[in-house]
Homo-oligomer: A and B are copies of this chain.
Amino acid sequence: MKELEIPKSHPRYRSLIIREKVVDGFRRGIVVPEGLIAHGRGEAFDYILGEKSWDFAIEAEKATVAWLLTASKPVISVNGNYAALAAREIGELARLTGAIVEVNLFYRTEDRVARIVDFLKQNGVDSVLDADCEKERISGLESPRGIVCRDGIWSADFVLLAMEDGDRTEAIKRMGKIVSAIDLNPFSRTAQTADITIVDEALRATNNMIKMAKTLGKMSKEELENIKKNYDNVEALKASFRVIFSRLNEASRKGLI
């Protein structure tokens, strides 16, 4: 499948493997060309952030896991890029937290929904709300962008999404859901709109949340409620901008970073 094996010794091995996952998804018809562009944008922010999970991301991931574990109906909304990057990991996170997985696309075609569902199932995600679910429409979004599953996002109280369009994030918020968004760009409307913004790369973030779910899954409801209550998203966003700022500041003094 891959044209080129990337040597593990390559300093940017992980980032290149992640890019290969997206390109592979593109070849499978899971990722649209717009998704490649979006990935390039994310890569630029990840470079500036130093390609690591910062404390503000860890805190946001922890709060997200606490919500996944305590919500009445938590849903993980999966688009082409998120599936390509972390199919197996999404399944594991869903199993550990009891969340429902729903395929939900900005550039929606029923064919692409089916391809993504197949890909998720191949990667061990047993239960996925798919093109056959009973449909509802989110108000304020033109069809087919507004289509969701009645037993998924429509009736969820908490939605985790990744690399999502700002319009859709806002519309889901307007429906009264609590939203956690994985987005490397803290300027994006999705990042600015979400209740919890995870400024981190999606695969890294999901792997972190899998580890956390194993620990937090043993905590009492009260402890989890405390984690939720103590999380401050404006502080997390500020911290993400501060890191971008100080990394650029440092780079502007040193030149060679």
Interface residues of A (CB under 8 A from B): 3-4, 7, 10-12, 19-20, 22-23, 26-27, 32-34, 36-45, 47-48, 106-109, 142, 144-145, 166-167, 185-189, 192, 233-238, 241-242, 244-245, 248-249, 251-257
Q: List the B residue with the shortest CB-CB distance to A33.
A: B23
- Which residues of chain B are near A107, meaning CB under 8 Å? 3-4
Given contacts A23-B34, A41-B40, A252-B245, contact A7 B142 (CB under 8 A): yes
The distance in angstroms between the C-alpha atoms of A242 and B193, with both chains bound, is 27
Excluding A37-B39, A40-B44, A244-B248, 7 further A-B contacts by CB distance (< 8 Å) are A41-B47, A44-B44, A234-B255, A235-B255, A237-B251, A238-B255, A241-B252
The distance in angstroms between the C-alpha atoms of A144 and B34, with both chains bound, is 29
Q: List the B residue with the shortest CB-CB distance to A31.
A: B33
Given contacts A4-B107, A12-B189, contact A37 B43 (CB under 8 A): yes
CB distance from A138 to the nearest CB of B (A): 14
- Which residues of chain B are near A188, meaning CB under 8 Å? 47
The distance in angstroms between the C-alpha atoms of A245 and B145, with both chains bound, is 36
Asked if residues B186 and A251 are in contact (CB atoms below 8 Å), the reply is yes
Given contacts A11-B189, A192-B256, A256-B234, contact A23 B4 (CB under 8 A): no
A-B contact pairs, 29 of them (CB 8 A): A3-B107, A4-B106, A4-B144, A7-B142, A12-B166, A12-B189, A22-B37, A23-B32, A37-B40, A38-B40, A39-B40, A40-B40, A41-B43, A41-B44, A42-B44, A186-B251, A187-B251, A187-B257, A192-B257, A237-B251, A238-B251, A238-B253, A238-B255, A241-B255, A242-B252, A245-B245, A245-B248, A245-B251, A245-B252
Q: List the B residue with the shortest CB-CB distance to A38.
A: B40
Given contacts A37-B37, A40-B41, contact A237 B256 (CB under 8 A): yes
The distance in angstroms between the C-alpha atoms of A46 and B245, with both chains bound, is 16
Given contacts A107-B3, A252-B242, contact A33 B44 (CB under 8 A): no
Out of B7, B37, B45, which one reaches A36, CB within 8 Å? B37
- Which residues of chain B are near A44, meaning CB under 8 Å? 40-42, 44-45, 185
Out of B37, B187, B255, which one reaches A23, CB within 8 Å? B37
- Which residues of chain B are near A32, meaning CB under 8 Å? 3, 23
The distance in angstroms between the C-alpha atoms of A238 and B257, with both chains bound, is 10
CB distance from A140 to the nearest CB of B (A): 9
- Which residues of chain B are near A233, meaning CB under 8 Å? 255
